[in-house]
Chain A
């Protein structure tokens, strides 16, 4: 999901996860109408929202962040899910007893994704996971996001880094002022001239004004 600031990307994620109530339209997941459902119901259906700015519990330890996010249902045990998260992000295992606020931005993002996985999502919505991170860390995180996608978790990624997003994604939507302006397979979108017009064009404009 691409688009300039204020295009409505986060609002879209908030509407899906039940934090915001849409004023019109409907949201369907696996053939089921989920419009207006409360966040805890949406999570139990298998949609997890990994919010912008990570929003990890700063005063809790790494392990406690994972414990808090584990949803008790008929699914897999906490231990199994934690082991999986630790496999994906070995640094979380190393620092499992550290208070989350003491971790670097990259580690906090890994914790945010690890924590989201504790709810066993079928659809994982990531809101700008690259925000404020060094390029090297961003690549590391995107490699793991691709792994998750190969393991059968659908990913809905909101990203400002257009190039990276189009390289990783299968299908892309361009959102502006709350409307889908363009959509198509990521590869085609990458070659589409209109994309630079809508999106990168906008960026250039701002640069000129500055």
Chain B
């Protein structure tokens, strides 16, 4: 019992930290632009594909890569996806910045479709086996099984989140990003580099999302062009649950969602005597999304519904 509890906790932490990496991108973009970036799930997918490409270019193959090649591929891939994120913002969102709120969101749907289709054309629609970025060792902890891949994912994800925390709270560009998030008009009036702050968010968000994608693909050993869709929605749910626009909220929401999912999936068949099986996991996650939107639309750490969001509804 204790063993399976430990095992399920580690499972939840692993999937939660991957959700958190992606949810951060949604929440940061919403913070500065009040926009939902529907193409963000595709940054997760691109992370895996770009890492695969970089790895095969570095060592000619993807199997049996050493730790140095894997680390290099990871770092180069997340950096490249960050650059792609900045490029997408310039091409697809920036020209629409002074348009209606809906326009950049629709544009992001278009970007999402283009990226998925583009990868399907370039790499094929079929799933591709993904090399593990961590040595596969299984540990027995009080009867439960914990893999080194999970530990590696946790370490990498927490290191990245700590880095983000430092960047946002301690660095000059982080302060500017928070100022722009709070009031873009005031930031503009003061001559603050608003475009720089927006580019920064569109670099860091996709970078973290790509890291999530590499970790996820390496956890399950597979990547597909459509892998970003459901995970993207889950991470979006996590961001809404925590309070969209709030960075700690995104992380909190991600872990709550992961614990509910893992716990619910383990308990549902027992509680309902097998009527509802583990396949109801996604129903559970999205039921949370609906409940949050009904009961507390601002999320756990989000601010109370402001006048601005009323204006925002009117624009639709």
Contact = CB atoms under 8 A, between A and B. Distances in A.
B188 A58 contact: no
Contact of A69 (B178, B183, B185, B192): B192
A55 B188 CA distance: 12
A64 B175 contact: yes
Contacts of B188: 19, 39-40
Interface in B186-212: 186-194
A69 B185 CA distance: 13
**For B176, B183, B186, B188, which residue has the most chain A Cβ atoms within 10 angstroms?**
B186
B313 interface: no
A42 B194 CA distance: 15
B186 A59 contact: no
Interface string A42-62: 111000110100010111100
Contacts of B172: 67
**For B176, B179, B183, B185, which residue has the most chain A Cβ atoms within 10 angstroms?**
B179
A55 B179 contact: no
A67 B189 CA distance: 15
Given A42-B191, A44-B191, A119-B191, A55 B186 contact: yes
A48 B182 contact: no
A49 B175 contact: no
Given A19-B189, A69-B190, A119-B190, A55 B175 contact: no
Given A60-B178, A64-B178, A39 B191 contact: yes
A201 to B, nearest CB: 34
Interface size class for chain B?
10 to 19
A44 B178 CA distance: 22
A51 B189 contact: yes
Interface in B146-194: 172, 175-176, 178-179, 182-183, 185-194
A109 interface: no
A82 interface: no
A201 B286 CA distance: 63
A115 B190 contact: yes
6 contacts: A19-B185, A19-B189, A39-B190, A40-B193, A51-B186, A68-B190
Interface of A: 17, 19, 39-40, 42-44, 48-49, 51, 55, 57-60, 64-65, 67-69, 71, 115-116, 119
Given A64-B175, A67-B176, 14 more contacts: A19-B185, A19-B188, A39-B191, A40-B193, A42-B191, A48-B191, A51-B189, A58-B182, A65-B179, A68-B176, A68-B178, A68-B190, A71-B191, A115-B190
